[in-house]
Amino acid sequence: EFVELRKIGIDEFYFVVAPEHKYANKTISLAELAKESFIGREAGSYTKTELASLFEEAGVVEPIPTLHYNGVHEAVTAAALGYGIHFCSGLVVAKQIENGELARIYTEEPTKKRALYLCTRKKDKLNGMEQLFLDFLIEKLPND
């Protein structure tokens, strides 16, 4: 009753690889994808949970990662260096994809998306700079 939630965008999860990977910018099934080398995240990672859920919902055995990293940036760097496929937030890798440092792999099955919310106390109002920043974020974030 004291918190106001406002949806400000959507974050879609991507499979990313080095641009020279054989599946870079291609669409394949999760079953085919599962046969490839994966870069995993640490136990308790939200992304790791979402990846497991994606494969389970598709009825495909989840791939066993060949490498594990305890941070998203380390895992993304490993993917860019060609060590395997990484599943991560599209917002995290948008710039690397745009710059050609990473490429997406698209799947025949739908991937995961999560809504992004701004949580504020109902009694507090945003000041001018905060509202400008929020408007900037809303304009830049995907919202479908």
H/E element holding 144?
none
> Max Cα separation, the chain?
53
pTM confidence score: 0.84
Count of beta carbons in the 10 Å neighbourhood of residue 93: 21
Model confidence over 67-125: pLDDT tens digits?
Answer: 989 888 999 999 999 999 999 999 999 999 999 999 999 999 989 999 999 888 888 88
Query: Can you give the pLDDT at residue 98?
Result: 96
Report the topology of domain 10-114: D-Maltodextrin-Binding Protein; domain 2 (3.40.190)
CA separation for the pair 87, 59 (Å, rounded): 18
Domain map (residue ranges) of the chain? 10-114
Helix (H, G, I), strand (E, B) or coil at 88: strand
Nearest residue to 16 via CA among 106, 99, 98, 91: 106
CA distance 124 to 141: 24
Which pLDDT does position 29 carry in this prediction?
96
* Cα separation, 21 vs 5, whole angstroms: 40
Q: Tell whether the model's pLDDT for residue 3 goes beyond 80.
A: yes
Please state the φ and ψ torsions of residue 11, each to the nearest 5 degrees. -115, 125
